[in-house]
Amino acid sequence: MNAEDIQQAVIDSVSPEWRHDPYRAYEVLRAAGPFVPGPLGTRLVPSHREAEAIMQDSRWSHAEESELLHPDSGVELPGSFLWMEPPDHTRLRGLVSKAFTARTVEGLRGRAEHLVEDLFDKILAQGEVDLLESLAYPLPLTLVCELLGVPAEEHEAVRQMSGAIARGLDPDLLLSPAELDARTRAVHEFNAFFGDLADRRRAEPRDDLITALVQAEAAGVRMTPVELLGTLLILVVAGHETTVNLIANGVLALIRDPAEFDRLRADPGLAVSAADEILRYDAPVHLTTRTAREELTVSGQTFAPGDAVIVLLASANRDPAAFPDPDRLDLGRYAPGRRAGRHLSFGLGLHYCLGAPLARLEMEVTLRAIARRVSSFTLRQDPPPYRPNLVVRGVSELHVHIRGHREDPS
Ligand code: HEM
């Protein structure tokens, strides 16, 4: 492989033209070596071994991402703990972590099942639908908004703000002036909207997460108003933009692989393993960054303090050194006893995704409903159109013709 091929793969891995399939470029990058010179003076980390080593090691910081990707943005994304280090990270993450334990999240199963059943009633009655709008968005958006305590009539407004912010997580140099403006506006709207909602909950507490956070604040746990907004921002944006793509990626993968779809229908219990396999196979979050706090050596390469890397999580998940037959969707890969490698779709280490149990639950419940209620679906356009988003990657629509079973009440 020559230097030109590698350079081209670096370009393709970020190019909107290849957003529908960055995996070919990732393969070239993995073959080029453990570290490949990347944009913004970074080194790209395409392989599982080094990605895992870096994510696990807290001497690599995530606090410099804003400086790296949004150097002159002029707009402060409120200080979310995703971009903090201990002790601030520990304090703020601790305040919300109770709401996301496996046990607490299991308590949401009934509500998730009810929502999914309702959505499928409508979808199957229509037959011809955009599954992004009719399934992938409503489930995670409704659940995270209900958890926080956002009134139903405001869910759509939250979705609009959050979409513009999610696009704004990409490096500024990839964003158009209109997208940068939209992000600034959305952050201001977000702060006004959630600042107002927090005030309402201070005055009139309810049984929701915003009330729990303002009460913790009142009980003397240190949290500034900006930190409260930052915490809400990461819960809203990370809490649904990602899961939307997981659901859409999962449906797309099943449509493209009828044998695996049949396997799921024959054994709906596979849904638990299938959720993790879909996370591995087509990760919703493609990359993250880390900056060395001190001199560090990984796989023989030395990094000076301040050196930054872009960890290609979705590429690590397709690394043949970590996963046999990595480009194959194998819904049973994570079944008990199979000892599959660890995918990095939820990150690893200090910043490991807080919402992982919720995301897994949402996907499992969706897959069980698909297994039970859908007899066939056909894609109207393959590949479907993708959003330009690099970090949180996914389709912009997913038009399908879908059929249920005859005995389905709809
Ligand atoms: C399929 C769905 C999801 C995916 C793929 C995903 C992915 C990730 C990843 C990769 C990280 C780590 C980023 C890094 O270390 O740089 C992360 C962190 C985080 N995620 Fe998720 N996420 C998902 C769903 C959720 C949900 C449903 C919530 C909450 C409602 C959530 C809340 C968070 C939070 C708060 C963090 C920051 C944790 C910390 O800094 O300690 N995520 N997520």
Q: Indicate the length of the chain as a whole number.
A: 410
pLDDT band of residue 54 (cuts 50, 70, 90) is very high
Higher pLDDT, 68 or 43: 43
Confidence (pTM): 0.96
Domains in the chain, ordered, with CATH?
49-67+83-283+352-404 (1.10.630.10)
Dist CA 112 CA 105 (whole Å): 10
Asked if the model's pLDDT at residue 407 lies above 70, the reply is: no
66 pLDDT band, cuts 50/70/90, is confident
For ligand 1, atom 36, the nearest C-alpha belongs to 353
Q: Does residue 217 surpass a pLDDT of 80?
A: no
The Cα 184–Cα 177 span in angstroms is 11
Angstrom distances, CA of residue 202 to CA of 116, 199, 206, 270:
32, 5, 9, 44
Residues 189-209 have a mean pLDDT of 95
Q: State how far the Cα of 73 lies from the Cα of 184, in Å rounded to an integer.
A: 9
* Mean pLDDT calculated for residue range 56-76: 85
Query: What are the CA-CA distances from residue 313 to residues 9, 39, 62, 333, 387 (Å)?
Result: 16, 17, 15, 18, 19
Q: Return the best residue to mutate from 354, 358, 363, 389 for the ligand 1 pocket (most ligand atoms within 8 A of CB).
A: 354
Which of 97, 142, 227, 346 to mutate to test ligand 1, by most ligand atoms within 8 A of the CB atom? 346
Centre of ligand 1 from the C-alpha of residue 375, in Å: 33
In the structure encoding, which two tokens stand for residue 406, read together?
Answer: 């005859």
What is the per-residue pLDDT for 71? 81
The whole-angstrom separation of Cα 26 and Cα 312 is 8
Tell me the per-residue pLDDT of 3-32, one tens digit each, with 9 for 90 and over.
999 999 999 999 999 999 999 999 999 999
- Of the chain, the percentage scoring pLDDT greater than 70 comes to 97
Backbone angles phi, psi at 291, to 5 degrees: -125, 135
Q: How far is the CA of 161 from the centre of ligand 1 (A)?
A: 18
Q: Does the pLDDT of residue 206 top 60, yes or no?
A: yes
Distance 314 CA to ligand 1 centre (A): 14
| CA pair distance 250, 273, nearest whole angstrom | 12
Q: Are 383 and 21 in contact (CB under 8 A)?
A: yes
Tell me, what's the pLDDT at 409?
52
Q: pLDDT tens-digit profile of 40-49?
A: 999 999 999 9
Minimal CA–CA distance to 174: which of 81, 73, 271, 304?
Answer: 73
- Token pair, residue 349, equals 């280490």
Atom of ligand 1 nearest to the CA of 65: 16
Q: For residue 343, which of 388, 299, 271, 286 has the smallest C-alpha distance?
A: 286
Res. 224 pLDDT band, cuts 50 70 90: confident
Q: What is the pLDDT of residue 264?
A: 98
What is the pLDDT, as a whole number, of residue 208? 94
Which ligand 1 atom is nearest residue 344's CA? 10
| Cβ < 6 A, ligand 1 pocket | 62, 81-82, 93, 144, 234-235, 238-239, 242-243, 246, 284-285, 288, 345-347, 351, 353-355, 358-359
Question: What's the pLDDT at 223?
Answer: 82
**Which ligand 1 atom sits closest to the C-alpha of 288?**
16
Best of 242, 245, 291 for a ligand 1 pocket test (most atoms within 8 Å of beta carbon): 242
Given this model, what pLDDT does residue 42 score?
96
With a cut of 60, say whether residue 377 has pLDDT above it. yes
Query: How remote is the CA of residue 285 from the centroid of ligand 1, in Å?
Result: 9
Q: Which tens digit of pLDDT belongs to each residue from 142-191? A: 999 999 999 999 999 999 999 999 898 899 989 999 999 999 999 999 99
Which ligand 1 atom is the nearest neighbour of the CA of 140?
Answer: 27
Question: For residue 15, which of 4, 31, 26 has the smallest C-alpha distance?
Answer: 26
Q: Which amino acid is at 178?
A: A
CA 335 to chain centre: 22
CA–CA distance, 228 with 223 (Å, rounded to integer): 6
Tokens (6 digits) for 393: 């990657």
Q: 3-class DSSP state for residue 289?
A: strand
Report the 3 state secondary structure along 208-224.
CHHHHHHHHHHCCCCCC
* H helical segments located in 322-403: 356-373
pLDDT at residue 244 tops 60: yes
**156 three-state secondary structure:** helix
Contact 127, 403 (CB under 8 A): yes
Residue 301 is inside which H or E element, if any?
A: strand 301-303
- Asked whether the predicted pLDDT for residue 222 surpasses 80, the reply is no
pLDDT bucket at 215, cuts 50 / 70 / 90? confident
Q: Give the pLDDT confidence of 72-124 residue by residue, as tens digits.
A: 766 566 679 999 999 999 999 998 998 899 889 999 999 999 999 999 999 99
Q: Does residue 126 carry a pLDDT above 90? A: yes
Least confident of 62-71, 215-224, 236-245: 215-224
User: Can you give the pLDDT at residue 374?
Assistant: 97
Q: How far is the CA of 364 from the centre of ligand 1 (A)?
A: 17
